[in-house]
């Protein structure tokens, strides 16, 4: 699969795919004339990267995860530990959002009362 095809399938720009490669999130083999060729399972890997990123993991931490992943199955315990740590982060985020929603709702109520006075 070429970079253009992968870009369409994942909805991630070619620029970004190359950028991720430079940042070592992605390891890509080349064809005979030096063009990137991606494997099918790179798609799910990229979606996984996307999820980690969207849930606030920094690229440099994703890079660490990627390095372990490319090292093979022996690094599973380490990867598991990283995910468990990230899980704690997500739980904290959830609590944060719940609290802010409560806050915002009381602000909204206040405004509504003020306006209807």
- Binding footprint of DNA on the chain (CB under 7 A): 2-5, 13-16, 18-19, 30, 32-36, 53, 58-60
50 Rama sector, left if φ>0, alpha if ψ -120 to 50, beta otherwise? alpha
DSSP tally for the chain: helices H, then strands E:
5, 2
Residue 42 beta carbon to DNA: minimum distance, rounded to whole angstroms: 13
Q: Look at residue 79 and give the partner it binds from DNA, a second copy, none, a contact being a CB closer than 5 to 8 Å depending on partner kind.
A: a second copy
- State whether the Cα torsion 17-24-60-46 is positive or negative: positive
Note whether 23 and 63 are within 8 A (CB). Answer: yes
Residue 68 beta carbon to DNA: minimum distance, rounded to whole angstroms: 18
CB closer to DNA, 56 vs 106: 56
Q: Look at residue 39 and give the partner it binds from DNA, a second copy, none, a contact being a CB closer than 5 to 8 Å depending on partner kind.
A: none
CB closer to DNA, 2 vs 103: 2
Break the chain down into helix, strand, coil percent, rounded to 5: 75, 5, 20
Note the residues at the interface with a second copy (CB under 8 A).
51, 54-55, 73, 76-77, 79-80, 83-84, 86-87, 90-91, 93-94, 96-98, 100-101, 103-105, 107-108, 111-112, 114-115
Give the number of other Cβ atoms within 10 Å of residue 17's Cβ. 22
């Amino acid at each position: 699969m070429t970079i253009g095809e992968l870009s369409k399938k994942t909805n991630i720009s070619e620029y970004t795919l190359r950028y991720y490669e430079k940042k070592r999130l992605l390891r890509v083999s080349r064809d005979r004339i030096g063009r990137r060729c991606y494997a099918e399972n790179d798609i799910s890997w990229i979606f996984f990267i996307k999820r980690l990123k969207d849930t606030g993991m920094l690229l440099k931490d994703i890079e660490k995860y990627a390095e372990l992943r490319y090292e093979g199955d022996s690094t599973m315990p380490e990867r598991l530990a990283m995910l468990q740590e990230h899980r704690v982060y997500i739980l904290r985020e959830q609590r944060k959002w719940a609290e802010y929603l409560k806050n915002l709702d009381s602000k909204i109520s206040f405004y509504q009362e003020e306006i209807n006075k």
